């Protein structure tokens, strides 16, 4: 691979502008050289020296780039990934990987045929809240886990006119936040046996689901994944109950808020989390307070650089991306049918 690795970013909406561009530029070994966008002025206001191309397919196939990062609407993920891979480019796809398992398997096959890396931006593996809870579980602070709840809740009572909230392929809250929730659960506990789900459209004027409640069945535990858009406060990011006690992580990782505020990734205070983990032992006394581990989503892109330059493992291998899509698709089917669904993990493990 050339050094630095030349990166093309497809899409400069909220995700491309807020997450990908700053993290790419903050990662040694990567250089953002081009962005596909219909709004060149918006891109150049942030990155005046970056080339802007109005044709995402042409840029995805361009020989002037080495790595294509796809942060466009969900229904374009698979077509753009296939075009880039078949042109010999390496690919990172924002979540969800694709719209369904059929597309996911096609993209993975194309990467294998082209001998190119494909990865999915499951950046919340490197969030402070998840890192702290995972370490506490591994350290045995609550014994054997029986029940975990993972919430990503927001207060956005007014429906906005954006593709994520319009009725169409890949729209809705579950396809937006479900991949994060499912990926973290799989990282902790591996594949569930069954998936139950209830998706709701609760806000006035909503066209797609804006409330999701999904339960993963394991032989000796249950994992609840929940997201809502009408939560002004009072909930916790993680709650974990086990044979030895309970963990509570009240607040969410701060990196997204820091990026919105304009903080440069890696600047002093980056990823630091003042919200500690609370550990209850059942005695009725005050909880033990455990400082949160700092998060750092740059580790995803550092892993991509290492994979391309030294042969290190892919930070999110295709099989793990496929497993997440199996859970996401199973939940959508369970919500539609009202029945528990066994995820199709073929090829994932």
Q: What is the pLDDT along the chain (349 residues), one digit of tens a residue?
A: 667 999 999 999 999 999 999 999 999 999 999 999 999 999 999 999 999 999 999 999 999 999 999 999 999 999 999 999 999 999 999 999 999 999 999 999 999 999 999 999 999 999 999 999 999 999 999 999 999 999 999 999 999 988 888 888 889 999 999 999 999 999 999 999 999 999 999 999 999 999 999 999 999 999 999 999 999 999 999 999 999 999 999 999 999 999 999 999 999 999 999 999 999 999 999 999 999 999 999 999 999 999 999 999 999 999 999 999 999 999 999 999 999 999 999 999 7
Alpha helices in 167-218 (DSSP H): 173-189
**CB-based burial of residue 217 (10 Å sphere; 0-12 exposed, 13-18 middle, 19+ buried)?**
middle
Q: DSSP 3-state assignment of 118?
A: strand
Containing H/E element for 134?
helix 128-138
Could you tell me if 108 and 322 are in contact, meaning their C-beta atoms sit under 8 angstroms apart? yes
In the beta sheet, which residues pair with residue 249? 238
Strand stretches in 11-122, DSSP E: 30-36, 51-53, 67-70, 90-94, 118-121
Residue 329: count other Cβ atoms within 10 Å of its Cβ: 23
pLDDT at residue 162, as a whole number: 85
**Reduced to 3 states, what is the DSSP secondary structure of residue 142?**
coil
Residue 91 · residue 84 · CB < 8 Å: yes
pLDDT at 264: 97
What is the dotted CATH code of the domain comprising 124-295+329-337? 3.30.360.10
Fold exhibited by the domain 5-121: Rossmann fold (3.40.50)
CB 296 within 8 A of CB 270: yes
List the beta bridge partners of residue 6: 31
Whole-prediction pTM: 0.96
- Structure confidence at residue 168 (pLDDT): 85
Same fold, 5-121 and 124-295+329-337: no
Q: Is 69 exposed, middle or buried (0-12, 13-18, 19+ CB in 10 A)?
A: buried
User: What pLDDT sits at residue 3?
Assistant: 78
For the chain, the 3-state helix, strand and coil shares in percent, each to the nearest 5, are 35, 25, 40
Report the mean per-residue pLDDT for the chain. 97
Q: Cα(195)–Cα(214) distance, rounded to whole angstroms?
A: 7
Domain residue ranges in the chain? 5-121, 124-295+329-337
Q: How many helices (H) and strands (E) in the chain? A: 11, 14
């Amino acid at each position: 691979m050339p050094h630095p690795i030349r990166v093309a970013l497809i899409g400069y909406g909220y995700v491309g502008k807020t997450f990908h561009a700053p993290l790419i530029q903050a990662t040694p070994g990567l250089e953002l050289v081009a962005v596909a966008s219909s709004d060149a002025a918006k891109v150049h206001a942030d990155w005046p020296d970056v080339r802007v191309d109005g044709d995402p397919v042409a840029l995805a196939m361009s020989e002037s780039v080495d790595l294509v990062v796809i942060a466009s609407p969900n229904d374009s993920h698979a077509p753009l990934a296939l075009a880039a891979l078949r042109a010999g480019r390496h690919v990172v796809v924002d979540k969800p990987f694709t719209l369904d398992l059929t597309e996911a398997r096609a993209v993975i096959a194309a990467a294998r045929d082209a001998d190119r890396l494909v990865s999915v931006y499951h950046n919340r593996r490197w969030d402070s809240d998840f890192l702290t809870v995972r370490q506490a579980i591994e350290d045995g602070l609550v014994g054997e886990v029986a029940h975990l709840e993972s919430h990503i809740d927001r207060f956005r009572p007014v429906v906005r006119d954006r593709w994520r909230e319009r009725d169409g392929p890949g729209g809705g809250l579950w396809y937006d936040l479900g991949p994060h929730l499912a990926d973290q659960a799989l990282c902790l506990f591996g594949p569930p046996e069954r998936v139950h789900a209830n998706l709701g459209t609760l806000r006035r004027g909503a066209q797609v689901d804006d409330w999701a409640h999904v339960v993963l069945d394991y032989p000796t535990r249950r994992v609840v994944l929940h997201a809502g858009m009408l939560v002004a406060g009072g909930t916790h990011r993680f709650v974990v109950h086990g044979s030895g006690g309970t963990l509570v992580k009240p607040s969410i990782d701060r990196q997204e808020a820091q990026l919105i505020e304009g903080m440069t990734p890696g600047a002093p205070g980056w990823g630091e989390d003042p919200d500690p983990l609370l550990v209850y032992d059942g005695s009725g006394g005050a909880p033990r307070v455990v400082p949160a581990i700092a998060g750092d989503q740059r580790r995803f892109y550092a892993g991509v650089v290492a994979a391309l330059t030294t042969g290190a493992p892919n930070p999110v291998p295709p099989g793990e991306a496929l497993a997440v899509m199996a859970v996401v698709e199973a939940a959508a089917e369970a919500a539609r049918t009202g029945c528990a669904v066994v995820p199709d993990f073929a090829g994932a493990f």
